[in-house]
Amino acid sequence: MSLFILVALPFLGALLPGLMNSAGRSATAGVTFTVSLTAFVGLLTNLPTILEGEVVMARVDWMPLMGLNFTLMLDGLGFFFALLILGIGLLIIAYARHYLGRDDNMGQFFTYLLLFQGAMVGIVLSDNILLLIIFWELTSLSSFLLIGYWKHLPEGRQGARMALAVTAMGGLAMIAGMLILGQIVGSYDLSEILQHRDLIQADPLYVPALVLILLGCFTKSAQFPFHFWLPHAMAAPTPVSAYLHSATMVKAGIFLMARMWPVLSGTPEWFVIVTSAGLTTMVLGAVIALFKHDLKALLAFSTVSHLGLITMLLGTGTAFGAMAAVFHILNHATFKAALFMSAGIVDHAAHTRDIRRLGGLSRLMPVTFLIATLAALSMAGIPLLNGFLSKEMMLEESGRTVLFGTPWLVPALATFGSLFSAAYSFRLIGHVFLGPKRDDYPATPHDPGAGLWLPPAILVALVVLIGVAPFVVEPFVKLVTASLLGAAGVVPEAHIKIWHGLVPALFLSLIAVFGGLILLSVFKPALRLWDSTPRPEAKAIYDAIVAAAEGLARAIILPLHNGAFTRYAAIGAVTIFAAGYHAWITGTLDAPTRTMQPAGAVPIAGWLMLLGATAGMVLLHRNRLLSLILIGIVGLMVSIGFVFFSAPDLAMTQFTVEVVTIILMLLALNFLPNRTPVESSVLRRVRDAGIAVAGGVATFGLSYHFMLRDAVSTPISEFHLANSYKGGGGTNVVNVILVDFRGFDTYGEIIVLGIAALLIYALTETLLRGPVRARLLNRKPDQPRAGDTHPMMMVVLTRVLLPIVLMVGFYIFLRGHNDPGGGFIAGLIVSIAVVMQYMASGFGWTSARLRYPYHGVIGAGVLTAGLTGIGSWFVGKPFLTSDFTYVRIPPFKEFELATAMLFDLGVFLAVVGAVMLSLESFSRLARLASEVDDDHPMDIDPSREEDDADGLTSTARAGV
C-alpha cells in the first residue's frame, strides 16, 4: 500500500466514528477497527520490501522553497514502530469497545484515537523532519483531547493541560533544534541529514541543536525532569493509557532519538546528557512506582522507569545498546500494554484501582490473574519471559558503560533500578491478586467477557513466545537495529539467548530479582519511611509555576491596559517624540536655503491673538462655553491666516466650517455640564503639560526647519498652477485641484463626511433606544430657560435671509471653478441657511417642513460624484476625467460647462446632507430632553392658523 494512503487512512477514517456514533457502539467500534485493520494490512504488504533491507520512499512537494515536503520513508525502524502502533492499536480498539460505558461518547473517543494513530504513523514514516514535527505536535494535541476525554473530571482537565504544556514546550524547542539541523545540512530530509554525521557533529551549532531536539524527546518520553506529566495523564480512560501513554506516544521521543542516532550519538555531549537522564529517570521512576497505591499510577511510574531504561541504552552510543533498546521497546510494549489493560479490567470489576483495597483477586478473577501475573513477571525480569532477555542485555551493556569516569556507577544504578522494578512487579501480583479474599471490595470482582481479556491475552502470548523462543524475533530485531544504526554502526554478532553462561549480567539480574523479593517483604516499614520522607510534589510545583506565570501575566497586562486613555496617549506621544528625536539626531543638518520673511505689524497682531486665545484655552478650558468661544477665535485667526497667504478658498471653507462647528458644539454643550470637573492630580497635569510642550516644540522645530528649505525638486504644485486653466478649464487652482487634479481625494473626503453623519445618526438611534432615553426624558435643565425661546426678531430675520443665503450659496457654487467658491463652501453656506431656521424657529417647525430626508441627500451626493466619475468611462477615459466646453444660451453671455461641476454638485449635496443629518440627530436628542413646546416658531404669532399648525404638529410628533 502506498505510504501516503497508509498515513492518510487513519486521518480520513477519523471522520467515520463520529458519523457512525448514532448507529450504535458496535458499529462505531467496528468501523474504527476496520480502518485500523486496513492500515495494518497495508503496512504488512510492505514487509517483503523491508525484509530485503530496502527502503520504501514516497514524495510529494509541499513547500519546496522552505524545504518542507511531504516525503515519507519506510525502513526497518519505521516499520517496527508502525507495526507496534497499528498492531496494538487494533487490540486497544477491541478492548475499548467493551471498556467504555454507555454514557461515553464512543464516536468522539474513536475519532480522537484514529487522529492520534494517524499522527503517530506519520511520525515514524516521515522522511522530512519538519513534517515529522507536524505529526509530533498532532500527537500532543490528540493526546490532549484524549486525556481530557472525561470532561467532568478535574484530574482529566488538569492532566490534559499539563501534558499539552509540557510536550508542547518540548515540541517548540524541537522546532528550533530541527531548523538548526536543517540549516547545518542544507536539507530537512532525513535521508539527506543521516548522511552527514561528521558535518553535523563538527558544526558549532551541534550542541544547541542537540539540546533542543533532546528537549523535545525528553518531554515526550517523560524523561527526568519532565517525567511528571505522564502519571497525571492517567486520568484518561485506560485504553488511552495503555495505548498512548505506555505503548506508543511516549515512545515517540525514543523513536526520534533512535532515528537521529546515526548523526547525533557518539559524542560526549550525547552520551552524558542522554545516559544520565535515562539512568536518573529509570531509578527515580522505579522507586516512586513501588510506593504508589493507584494501580495505574504504579504502572505509569514503571513506564517512566522503563522509558528511562531505553533512553539510557540509546545514550551509550554503542550498537549493542541500540539493539537492546530496540528489543526492550518491543518487550515493554507487549507486557506494559497487557498490564494496563489488566488494570482496566480490575478497575472495571472491582470499581477501584487502589491496591490497598484490593488483594485476593486470584480466585475471583483467574483469567485476569494469569494475564497480569505473566506480564508482571516479565516486567520483573523473570526468565522464560521476554522482559528477562532485554533486561539482561541492558545489564550487560551497563557493565560496559563508564559515566563520569566511575565504572561502577552505571551498573550499580541499573541494578538498583531493576531491583525496584522487580519489587513493584511483585507487589502488583502479591498485593492485588494474592493474599486472602476480602469482603469489602466496592463491587464484586469477576472475570470480564472475552472482549476485555482477549486483547491483553494476545499480548501475553507474545510475551511468553518471545521469552521462550527469542530466536523467532531475533532476525527482526537485528533488521530494525541495522536500520537504526545506518552507516554509523554494525549490528552486533551477539545472539539473543536465554542462557549466556555465568556472566556478570546474570548475577546482577539475580541480585535484582531476589533483592526485589526481599524489599517487598519489608514493604510496610519501607512505605512508612517513604511516607515520612519529604519530597517535592511535581504537580504542586507545576501548578505553582503556572499560577505564578498567570499571576505575573496579569500583573504585567492588566495594570498596563487599565483603560486610562490619557496614559495611552502619553505613552504614544513620548514614543513618537523619542523615535522622531532619534531620527533627527542621527541625521545630518546643513544651512537653510531660504531666509526668514520680515514680519509686519498685522501678522504679528494676528499671531498674538492666536497665541492669546490658545493660552486662554489652556487656562480657562474648564468653562466649556468660554473655551468654545476661544476655539472660535483660533478658527477665525486660522481663516485670516489663509487669507494672508492668498488662499481665499481655504479661508472661506475654514470660516464656514467654523460657523457650523460652533453651532453643532453649542447644541452638544446643551447636554453637558457647564464646567469640566478636575479629574487628574497636579502631578499628572504637570506630566501631561511636559509632554504637550515637548510635542509642541517638536512640531514647531520641524515646521521651522522645512519653512527655511526648498524641496529637492520642483513641487508638483507648479504643474497644477501651470495647467489649471489649460487642462482643468478653471482659473481657480484650488478648486481645480479639488475637483479635477485630485478629485479622487475629494471623493474620498465627501464619503468620510457622509459616513460621519450616518454614524452620528446611528449613534443617536441607539442612544434613544437605550437607557439614555429615560434619562433625557427625565432631564431637568440646570439653568433657567429663556422666556422667549424663539424671539420674533430672529425668526423674521432668518426667514428673510433664507432665500438670500440660498442665492449666495448658488452663486458661490457656480463661480467656484474660476473664483473662490465651489461645492464644498456652497454646501456649508446652504447648511447654515437651514441651521438658522432650526435655531430661530425650532426643531419641530423646521423638521416638519423638510421635504427631502437628509440620508437621501447624502446618498444622492455620493452617488452623483461617483457616477460623474464613471461617466468618463463611456468616452474611454479613466475615472473622474473631466471635460469642459463653452456654451452660449441667450440671453446669457458665453459660459463654461465642465463635468467637474457635476462632481462638485455631488460634493455640495453630500456636504449639505451630512451637516444637516448631524444637526438633526442632535436635535432629536434635544427635542426629547426639552420640555418647551417647540411646535410654534414664535411665542406670539398673530397670523397663526390653528388648524394648519395642529396638522404640522402631529406630523412632527409622528416623526419622533
The set of cell numbers assigned to 370 is 494469569
Q: Cα 647 to the chain's mean position, in Å?
A: 52
Provide the Cα torsion 164, 169, 172, 177; round to 10°.
-130
**Cα-to-chain-centroid distance, residue 143:** 20
Residue 443 or residue 711: which is nearer to another protein going by CB?
Answer: 711
Tell me phi and psi for residue 75, to 5 degrees.
-120, -170
- Is the CB of 602 or the CB of 870 nearer to another protein? 870
Site for another protein in 882-941 (CB under 8 A): 882
Residues 328/306, Cβ–Cβ less than 8 Å? yes
Decide if residue 638 touches another protein (CB under 8 A): no
Buried (b) or exposed (e) across 244-263, using 16+ Cβ within 10 A? bbbbbbbbbbbbbbbbbbbb
Question: Distance between CA 426 and CA 681 in Å, rounded?
Answer: 74
Q: Select from 44, 176, 370, 952 the one that contacts another protein (CB under 8 A).
A: 176
Which one, 200 or 423, has the nearer CB to another protein? 200
Identified binder of another protein from the candidate list 557, 672, 689, 960, rule CB under 8 A: 557
Q: Does 127 bind another protein (CB under 8 A)?
A: no
Site for another protein in 247-276 (CB under 8 A): none
Q: Is 571 in the site for another protein (CB under 8 A)?
A: yes
User: Which of these ranges, 89-97, 317-325, 595-603, 757-765, lies near another protein under the rule CB under 8 A?
Assistant: 757-765
- Quick one: how far is CA 949 from the chain centroid? 63
**CB of 182 vs another protein, minimal distance in Å:** 8
Residue from 253, 430, 869, 937 touching another protein (CB under 8 A): that is 869
CB of 60 to another protein, least distance (A): 10
DSSP label at 501? -
CB closer to another protein out of 438 and 773? 773
Query: Per rule CB under 8 A, is residue 451 in the interface with another protein?
Result: no
Q: Least CB distance from residue 706 to another protein, whole Å? A: 4
Site for another protein in 574-593 (CB under 8 A): 575-576, 579-580, 582-584, 586-590
Give the footprint of another protein on residues 181-200 (CB under 8 A): 183
Q: How far is it, in rounded angstroms, from Cα 80 to Cα 185?
A: 27
Report the DSSP pairing between strands 895-898 and 68-74.
Answer: unpaired
Residue number with CB closer to another protein (217 or 422): 217
d(CA 353, CA 155): 15
Packing angle of the helix pair 295-315, 268-290 (nearest 10 deg): 160
What is the total count of residues that contact another protein (CB under 8 A)?
132
Smallest gap, in angstroms, from Cβ of residue 956 to another protein? Answer: 19
- The piece of 136-144, 262-270, 292-300, 816-824 that touches another protein (CB under 8 A) is 136-144
Q: How far is the CB of 640 from another protein (least distance, A)?
A: 21
Q: Name which of 108, 104, 82, 78 is nearest 9 in CA terms.
A: 82
Site for another protein in 36-75 (CB under 8 A): 61-66, 68
The DSSP code sequence of 127-165 is: SBHHHHHHHHHHHHHHHHHHHTTSTT-HHHHHHHHHHHH
- 555/548 Cα distance (integer angstroms): 10
> Residue from 1, 27, 55, 179 that binds another protein (CB under 8 A)?
179
Tell whether residue 79 is a contact of another protein (CB under 8 A). Answer: no
Name the minimum Å distance from CB 141 to another protein: 6
- Window 658-717: residues binding another protein (CB under 8 A): 699, 702-703, 705-707, 709, 711-717
Instruction: Please say which residue, 9 or 91, places its beta carbon nearer to another protein.
Output: 9
* Contact stretch for another protein (CB under 8 A) within 90-98, 466-474, 503-511, 879-887: 879-887
Q: How far is the CB of 262 from another protein (least distance, A)?
A: 25
Phi, psi of 936 (to 5 degrees): -105, 130
- The span from the CA of 944 to the CA of 711, in Å, is 66
**Does 719 sit near another protein (CB under 8 A)?**
yes
Judged by CB, which is closer to another protein: 435, or 715? Answer: 715
Ramachandran class of 682: left when φ > 0, alpha when ψ lies in -120 to 50, beta otherwise: alpha
Q: Which of 98, 124, 93 is nearest to 14 (CA)?
A: 93
Long-range contacts of the stretch 352-355 (C-beta < 8 A, 24+): 352/441, 352/442, 353/294, 353/295, 353/296, 354/293, 354/294, 354/295, 355/293, 355/294, 355/295, 355/298, 355/427, 355/428, 355/431, 355/432
Q: Judged by CB under 8 A, does residue 487 bind another protein?
A: no
DSSP letters, 380-432, are HT-TTSHHHHHHHHHHHHHHH--BTTBTTHHHHHHHHHHHHHHHHHHHHIIII
Considering the complex, state which of residue 514 and residue 719 has its C-beta at the smaller distance from another protein: 719
Site for another protein in 417-436 (CB under 8 A): none
Taking contact as CB under 8 A, which single stretch among the options 307-315, 383-391, 597-605, 853-861 is the one that binds another protein? 853-861
Q: Which of 129, 277, 862, 916 binds another protein (CB under 8 A)?
A: 862
Binding status of residue 805 toward another protein by CB under 8 A:
no
Binding mask 526-555 for another protein (x = CB under 8 A): --------------------x--xx--xx-
Q: Based on CB atoms, which residue is closest to another protein, 126 or 378? A: 126
Instruction: DSSP for 325-342, please give it.
Output: HHHHHHHHHHHHHHHHHH
Q: Which is nearer to another protein, 362 or 899 (CB)?
A: 899
Torsion angle, CA of 575/576/577/578, rounded to 10 degrees? 50
**In the set 58, 155, 157, 526, which binds another protein (CB under 8 A)?**
157
169 lines the binding site for another protein (CB under 8 A) = yes
Least distance between another protein and beta carbon 773 (Å): 11
Residue 298 is a binding residue for another protein (CB under 8 A): no
CB of 539 to another protein, least distance (A): 15
C-alpha cell at 572: 504614544
Choice from 10, 455, 743, 820 touching another protein (CB under 8 A):
743
Task: Give yes or no for residue 861 binding another protein (CB under 8 A).
Answer: yes
Q: Smallest gap, in angstroms, from Cβ of residue 224 to another protein?
A: 20
Question: In the bound complex, what is the minimum distance in angstroms from residue 275's beta carbon to another protein?
Answer: 27
469 near another protein, rule: CB under 8 A: no
Cβ-based neighbour number of residue 779 at 10 Å: 14
Of 488, 629, 669, 756, which one interacts with another protein (CB under 8 A)? 756
Position among 148, 231, 455, 467 found at the interface with another protein (CB under 8 A): 148
Strand-pair category, 56-63 with 68-74: antiparallel
Choose one: 224-232, 261-269, 829-837, 861-869; the region binding another protein (CB under 8 A): 861-869
133 touches 177 (CB < 8 A): no
Kindly state whether residue 211 participates in binding another protein, applying the rule CB under 8 A: no
The sign of the CA dihedral 9, 11, 14, 19 is negative
- Centre a 10 Å sphere on the Cβ of residue 558 and count the other Cβ atoms it contains: 10
Q: Is 646 in the site for another protein (CB under 8 A)?
A: no
Nearer CB in complex with another protein: 279/900: 900
Question: Grid coordinates standing for 876?
Answer: 474611454
Binding-site member from 251, 427, 720, 936 for another protein (CB under 8 A): 720
Kindly state the cell numbers that stand for 21: 456514533
Alpha helices in 708-791 (DSSP H): 717-728, 733-736, 743-769, 771-777
Closer of 154 and 677 to another protein (Cβ): 154
The values of phi and psi at residue 263, to 5°, are -105, -25
Residue 133 is a binding residue for another protein (CB under 8 A):
yes
Indicate whether 770 belongs to the interface with another protein (CB under 8 A). Answer: yes
